[in-house]
Amino acid sequence: MLLRSMLPILMMLAAPTAAQTPSPMTLPQSVLHTPDMISTAVLPYLACLYGIHGLPVLKGNDGNKIAFDKNDSNCSATKRRAKTAALKLIADKSVPGGATPTQYVS
């Protein structure tokens, strides 16, 4: 008798739902494309942002960790260095979309 009264509930729990939301663990990994012309400048900043949360940033081409200043607790100094370095890298180059180098980096 108890099983008969619980059968609809058990069937509902056992049946897959049509609109199940995928888990972040089952989705493809996110990929960030950093433009080649400034990647060497901005990757340490990205690594710092992830690093303060305990997450490593790995280079896609070789899987090595990207070094960053672990003493920069809020990444502000690393951000300033990244912006300066990126502007130097594109100082004499045309930037996609017709933006100025400063607009492109900001």
The stretch 3-21 carries a mean pLDDT of 57
pLDDT tier for residue 99 given thresholds of 50, 70 and 90: confident
**For the chain, which residues make up each domain, given as ranges?**
32-105
pLDDT in tens, 25-82: 556 666 666 788 888 898 899 899 988 888 888 776 777 888 888 899 899 999 999 9
- Spatial separation of the C-alpha atoms in residues 56 and 75, rounded to whole Å: 15
- Spatial separation of the C-alpha atoms in residues 6 and 22, rounded to whole Å: 28
pTM of the model: 0.63
Return the pLDDT at 104: 82
Return the pLDDT at 2: 47
pLDDT tier for residue 12 given thresholds of 50, 70 and 90: low
HEC string for 15-53: CCCCCCCCCCCCCCCCCCCCCCCCHHHHHHHHHHHHHCC
Token pair in block for residue 89: 């890298």
